[in-house]
Amino acid sequence: MKNLILSLFVSLFTLMSFSQTTLDVYVINPNNCEHTIVSNWISPLNSGMANILSVDTLINQQVWHLEITDTTNQISLTLCAAPTPPCNCQMECMGPITVTPNMSYTLILCSNTINVDELNVLTIENPMEGVIVFPLSEPTNFYLINSEGKIIKWLKNTTLVSFNSEDLPSGFYHLILETQTTKTIYNLLK
């Protein structure tokens, strides 16, 4: 009888420990467009929209803290940053992706409106091939983000960017270069 009660307690504790998944969505928003997050998820047992726990606003970026209530850890998620009027940017989406608990994802809103000539960088072959190396005219923060919003590579205050694209799986990437006064976003294919 003790074993049965212990077994039921362990089963209930296990079920409760997988009942919520939290994640952070970083929305890089260079034009400071008003927007909302649209998130649809599906699992073998259920589906719905993620609950918004809170939103932190930084300079040109918002961090949306979301929670998915489900009893499985096999959740497929589609995320979108949806601009609201008067902003006329397109909705930016990613997914469906398999959710990893406590993971963060990045969406770039209005990336097609950023002036990519402000930093005077060398042209990057698209699709990317081989080793990518280019100097920068001033100290710059560099981020390489995959299509799931995960930061693959980053450098702070660098004047030289170098990475081997052969180390990356095929897919879409965002290369972000950010100085004190400008931000440049390249959409790249590997």
The predicted model gives 107-127 an average pLDDT of 53
Q: Is residue 39 a contact partner of residue 78, using CB atoms and an 8 Å limit? A: yes
The predicted model gives 48-74 an average pLDDT of 82
Is 134 a domain residue? yes
Q: Is residue 51 a contact partner of residue 99, using CB atoms and an 8 Å limit? A: no
Q: How confident is the model at residue 132 (pLDDT cuts 50, 70, 90)?
A: confident
Residues 6+ apart with CB under 8 A from 119: 136, 137, 138, 140, 177, 179, 182, 184
163 and 134 within one domain:
yes
Q: Tell me: pLDDT of 9 over 60.
A: no
Model pLDDT, residue 114: 39
Is 170 a domain residue? yes
171 and 101 within one domain:
no
| Structural domain count of the chain | 2
What is residue 7's three-state secondary structure?
helix
What is residue 30's three-state secondary structure?
coil
Which of residues 111, 139, 156 is at a domain's end? Answer: 111
% of the chain surpassing 70 pLDDT: 78
103 and 28 within one domain:
yes
Which of residues 82, 111, 140 is at a domain's end? Answer: 111
78 and 130 within one domain:
no
User: Where residue 65 sits, what CATH number does that domain have?
Assistant: 2.60.40.1110
101 and 17 within one domain:
yes
Q: How confident is the model at residue 71 (pLDDT cuts 50, 70, 90)?
A: low
Give 130's Cβ-side CA count (13 Å radius). 4
Using alpha carbons only, how large is the chain's radius of gyration in Å? 20
Question: d(Cα 64, Cα 185) in Å, to the nearest integer?
Answer: 21
The closest alpha carbon to 66, from 18, 20, 23, belongs to: 23
Average pLDDT, rounded, for the chain: 75
Residues 6+ apart with CB under 8 A from 80: 37, 38, 39, 91, 92, 93, 94, 107
Residue 35 in tokens: 């927007």
Model pLDDT, residue 54: 87
Is 2 a domain residue? no
Parent domain of 37: 13-111
Q: Tell me: pLDDT of 11 over 50.
A: no
Is 46 a domain residue? yes
User: Where residue 129 sits, what CATH number does that domain have?
Assistant: 2.60.40
133 and 180 within one domain:
yes
Q: Tell me: pLDDT of 155 over 80.
A: yes
Model pLDDT, residue 13: 39
51 and 96 within one domain:
yes
Is 71 a domain residue? yes
